[in-house]
Structure 1
Amino acid sequence: MVSTQEIALDRTQRIGEGRSAEVFVDKSGQILKLYKAKWGKSLAEKEFVATSFAHSQGLRVPAPLGIIERHGRSGVLFEHIDGKTVLEHFRRNPVGMLGALRQLAHIQFGIHTIVNAPLPNQQDALRVQVSRARVPAWLKQTTLAVLDRLPDGDNLCHGDLHPENALYTPDGLVVIDWEKSTAGHPTADVARTELILRSGRTRFVNAWAKAADARIRARLADFYVWTYCRLSGIDRRDIDAWRLPVIVARLSGQAAPNEDDLQAEARRLGNHFAHLI
């Protein structure tokens, strides 16, 4: 049974905000992640269960302390971890970013060694996202046909692992934001990480021009996948096979600044697979 408690926001300080949630620190130093959406209770419950499971398996994650309610909004209370995100810490240090990505690949490989995760099925989650994606019907049908040919699994998958969801601390990286985690296949999880590294909304270094940033992001994404493949023995082609479902699933969420680029890539991949299915 998950306990629910009330937290007074007038005794907290907001320290961060994302698309789906705000993050606060209270006077005791605990971290409160409070969801914005009306369906935040289900997200909070999912994140609590997923983080609790990851914590129980010895992964370096903030200890989840309980689910909270405040003025109709739901969230999760966590222990406080001192540290900036990997992106913040290495924003102006590409060499340091390479080292951090190597660590992150090792962590993701370790996550994937955990099986029988008590979480939603990855394939089911992707199918729901594809059905809601902002793409034509033919592309949804093609994507679902591709999914039919891809492997299922019960490995623990973070679902959103990237440099903004890992904290850099003197003792190593700490993985946060587990609300998108599933039980599924590791190659799909790595494909999602590659997509974010290659096409995410945030530049790695503010000073880089857009074109230069795109080039360096592509190299970092390739380096990350290469590192993971060396660790796991997985073939790069097995990760590439997930690109279409992962991109189309991404198009079910809030529109990103690079929406047009994602749409174009989804159609290109869809046309390629349509001739093969």
Structure 2
Amino acid sequence: MHTFLASGRDADVFVVGPGRVLRRYRDGSDVAPEVAVMAHVGRHGFPVPTVFRSEGPDLEMEHLDGTTMLQALVNDDIRSDDAASILADLHRRLHAIPPMGMTSVGQHVLHLDLHPDNVLLTSGGPVLIDWRNAAAGAPELDVALSALILAQVAVEPIDMAPRAAELLDHFLARAPDSPTVMLDDAVHIRAGNPTLTPGELGRLGSAADLLRAKV
């Protein structure tokens, strides 16, 4: 018996038993590539959910306690500078892990979607979820995408915008790599994201301009 828990931009999550949830991609995408990356970084001590089963678009994993960093920010349960420190530390730890397989010199494991809604603040510490976009590449791209996503929220006409701008400032002060070296590549990736709304796509240039102005 599956009990609906939540929906994201491209997946639904169900409780399937004690301590277990099932995340299912609505477009039927195979979870095998991200499961492989999660297993790889997990072997190096990086905080990811334990995976119990994967098949096609279904990923069954542990049901973690706590809330997302985004919800904690909305609820004022975490300070922006502390949240930024966690984001920067996750980047630093992830990029220290050797990539899978044969890659070029300078390649590292990248998450490519590391932002507050993908960080769970559990009793055991922060855990990074949603590894669908993970790849090998330059750390500067990963940092640029995180900064750009924060900047996108900062230019949105929403109540969260000022808090996102504050978080962006703190993140830029702590980021382990430059957020502008590969900003054009980050903009290109975000522009091709099918889950973004027309409004979000329309303000992408403003977000990039804001980020450049802050660095």
Would the TM-score normalized by the shorter structure come out above 0.5?
yes
**TM bucket normalised to smaller:** 0.7 to 0.9
Q: Is structure 2 residue 45 aligned with structure 1 residue 58?
A: yes
User: Secondary structure at the residue paired with 2:120?
Assistant: strand
Q: For residues 7-65 of structure 1, what are the alpha-carbon distances to aligned partners after superposition, in whole Å with 9 as ceiling and x for unaligned?
A: xxxx1111111121111111233111111104x12xx1112111111111111110112
Q: Is structure 2 residue 200 aligned with structure 1 residue 258?
A: yes
- The partner residue of 1:87 within 64, 70, 85 is 70
Mapped to 1, the partners of 2:154 and 2:172 lie a distance apart of 19
Note the residue ranges of structure 2 that are not aligned, 5 or more in a row.
Answer: 210-215
Tell me the equivalent position of 1:140: none
CA drift at 1:190: 0.4
Task: Output the amino acid matched with 2:64.
Answer: I
Q: Following superposition of structure 1 onto structure 2, how do residues 1-277 of structure 1 map, counting pairs within 5 Å?
A: 11-38=1-28, 40-41=29-30, 44-69=31-56, 74-93=57-76, 96-118=79-101, 153-200=106-153, 210=158, 213-229=160-176, 234=177, 236=178, 239-254=179-194, 255-256=196-197, 257-263=199-205
- Over 3 Å counting, the alpha-carbon distance change for 1:115 and 1:51 in structure 2 is same
- 8 Å contact kept, 1:98–1:220: yes
Q: For residues 194-217 of structure 1, what are the alpha-carbon distances to aligned partners after superposition, in whole Å with 9 as ceiling and x for unaligned?
A: 0111104998xxxxx73x743442
User: Secondary structure at the residue paired with 2:203?
Assistant: helix
Task: Output the amino acid matched with 2:34.
Answer: E
- Over 3 Å counting, the alpha-carbon distance change for 1:199 and 1:248 in structure 2 is same
- Over 3 Å counting, the alpha-carbon distance change for 1:174 and 1:95 in structure 2 is closer
Q: For residues 82-136 of structure 1, what are the alpha-carbon distances to aligned partners after superposition, in whole Å with 9 as ceiling and x for unaligned?
A: 11101112213286232122122112101110122349x8xxxxxxxxxxxxxxx
CA drift at 1:218: 2.6
CA drift at 1:165: 0.4
Greater C-alpha Rg? 1
CA drift at 1:219: 3.0
Give me the CA root mean square deviation: 2.7
Q: For residues 159-208 of structure 1, what are the alpha-carbon distances to aligned partners after superposition, in whole Å with 9 as ceiling and x for unaligned?
A: 100100010112211111111111111111000000111104998xxxxx
- 8 Å contact kept, 1:48–1:66: no
Q: How many percent identity over aligned positions?
A: 26
- 8 Å contact kept, 1:162–1:196: yes
Task: Output the amino acid matched with 1:241.
Answer: V
Note the residue ranges of structure 1 that are not aligned, 5 or more in a row.
Answer: 1-10, 122-150, 204-208, 269-277
- 8 Å contact kept, 1:118–1:183: no
Count of paired positions: 208
- 8 Å contact kept, 1:61–1:174: yes
